[in-house]
Chains A and B, each alone.
Chain A
């Protein structure tokens, strides 16, 4: 059951495991899921383990169940009510008879099908919305019809079920903000900075932990055992090089700068440089790329442990990257091709990454992205990409 649904979720990119799918079936078998809203909450809480996939899940859910199980919202709501009606009928026929305004003995003669038919007729009689009261079917009344479900032995929900279908809930896409897809925006800075905070070095274990030394020594019945902790190493140095030329990069320059500005305190030193499209003979300290050039050769003087982070879309005409005099700026006459310069940088700094705001799916269509991707480990400028980039920068080798 629901195997298609499971694979649709999986194909959408939500990490789901077969074990959790079996757990969902356990829930189904135990009768914990009796309608589609139950199924929605149960499947989401069992299958999806992070709020960032909630939005994706909502979309898949709406897609999967919208056409298949319920052609129209009203039909679904009616079935839902009918089911409730039958439940009530089984539990307390008198209350139902009163609510529907027929004699109890007459009600007893009806088959379930007849009852539902009668109920539907009654619903059609009702020409206006009716809340409260005791006779008509509506919300919030004493009529048993439309009552919220109960969970014997479990927790109860306050109030009546609002009869919102799970599809409607899913289509609201309440979790859109939690999905961390797409390039970084100012709103994601808070989340992104948490990823960046992992950019801290770990030193050797050379500091005595007095407390655990005492504990371990006691445990060894007095035989001394010294426990060492990691000491804090000096903080990292970072060079940030941003492509700030061209409108395609405009939205990201500010975000990246805010991000690193916030994280500034955690680094020992952070230097920001600018370039246009790709690196030729120099990078610039000023955003206008005019006043303070720094020649690429001079970068060799920096500490080789410095983390080099380049941000750019890496999209250009191939000759701009490959040719010896490739720059599109007439005043920028170069002696070496850009690709050689980039190789030089990646050889100088063993920890380097390239962050690209273009979505990964587009990378294969741009030859220069693939070419630069072979020189620098390239990651998407997104929360996920940043996380991976930080892992790359912290890799031990």
Chain B
């Protein structure tokens, strides 16, 4: 989500993120308490962008750990490159000393953040994707701010405690002990006013009539009951792009309940047919 600030002097020296007051307070408290901040919210509410904004404003390097479903915590800490070592030992054409395992240890994202010379912002994106072992293993790392490299029997301590920003799409609930170590905030879906700003950033040239009509239709469609995946900011942006690309499209048609390109907004087949049904029966408009 990218937005601009109308006020040049405000925090949004980051230029891309409007921070609401409440969230700013929570970020400040989390940083002062040195606690990780866990952000939840629907996709498209700017959870990831917040970490970028913090890094930009506080002039800290940003390190991003994109969590994947099969990920083990150790991959985020360090990796022991056994394959290269085996290769080196057999062919011996590298400058590395094969007997020193340390040469084959590569730092993962968390390791990099710990080893950095400055305080960094460490974004752990979509932690809910990994299984609960990942979170449980991370507890120790968060508590101790250190981890062991078993292969070389060495402990890596954080030189500077990173600013942890953790995001979750709330597909699963995180484990209680993990939650206990984080501060928590839930970012609500942007209201129409905010959405107008967002659209303006993405389409500075867009004519007002289309934007207004599209946003109005979008929020009506979002209210539709019994939908598995409701359209979010991303879908709206793509939809507006499609609408403006269609030379035959007239914005006034939207208000009359003629909604083209519904497939951009609703991507699950049941949701799609339900939405088409509701629109064609003019229940919504």
Interfacial residues, chain A to chain B (CB-CB below 8 A): 15, 17, 19-20, 23, 26-27, 30, 32-33, 37-38, 41-42, 45-46, 48-51, 54, 148, 151, 154-159, 161-162, 169, 174-175, 178, 185-187, 189-190, 193-194, 214-215, 218-219, 222, 255, 258, 261-262
Contacts and interface: CB of A to CB of B under 8 A. Distances in A.
A192 B228 CA distance: 9
Contacts of A38: 25
Contact of A49 (B19, B29, B180): B180
A266 to B, nearest CB: 12
Interface of B: 5, 7, 9-12, 18-22, 24-33, 35, 37-38, 40, 54, 57-58, 80, 82-83, 85-86, 170-171, 173, 176, 179-180, 182-186, 188, 225-230, 270
25 contacts: A15-B176, A30-B33, A41-B26, A42-B26, A45-B26, A46-B29, A49-B38, A49-B182, A154-B27, A154-B32, A155-B19, A155-B57, A155-B58, A157-B24, A158-B10, A161-B21, A178-B186, A186-B225, A186-B226, A189-B225, A189-B227, A190-B229, A193-B228, A218-B82, A222-B86
Contacts of A41: 22, 25-26, 29
Q: Which of B7, B11, B32, B85 is packed against the most chain A CB atoms within 10 Å?
A: B32
B19 A187 contact: no
A51 B40 contact: yes
Contacts of B27: 154-155
B10 A157 contact: yes
Contacts of B11: 155-158
Contact of B270 (A17, A155, A261): A261
Given A158-B5, A190-B228, A261-B270, 5 more contacts: A27-B33, A32-B32, A51-B170, A155-B27, A158-B10
Contacts of B38: 49
B185 A151 contact: no
A49 B270 CA distance: 32
A255 B225 CA distance: 10
B166 to A, nearest CB: 12
Nearest to A164: B21
A144 to B, nearest CB: 16
A157 B21 contact: yes
Nearest to A166: B22
Contacts of A155: 11, 19, 24, 27-28, 54, 57-58
B30 A158 contact: no
Contacts of A214: 83
A374 B177 CA distance: 33
A38 B188 CA distance: 19
A174 B227 CA distance: 21
A156 B28 CA distance: 9
Given A156-B10, A194-B171, A19 B25 contact: no
A157 B37 CA distance: 18
Nearest to A42: B29
Nearest to B8: A158
A262 B186 contact: no
Contacts of B40: 50-51
B7 A158 contact: yes
B127 to A, nearest CB: 14
Given A30-B33, A156-B11, A189-B228, A20 B171 contact: no
Contacts of B186: 51, 54, 175, 178
A179 B83 CA distance: 50
A190 B82 contact: no
A186 B22 CA distance: 31
Contacts of B29: 27, 32-33, 41-42, 45-46
A274 B67 CA distance: 44
B173 to A, nearest CB: 7
Nearest to A263: B228
Contacts of A175: 186, 188
B183 A262 contact: no
A69 to B, nearest CB: 19
Q: Which of B35, B179, B186 is packed against the most chain A CB atoms within 10 Å?
A: B186
A26 B270 contact: no
A50 B183 contact: no
Contacts of B12: 158
B58 A174 contact: no
A52 B228 CA distance: 18
Nearest to B58: A155
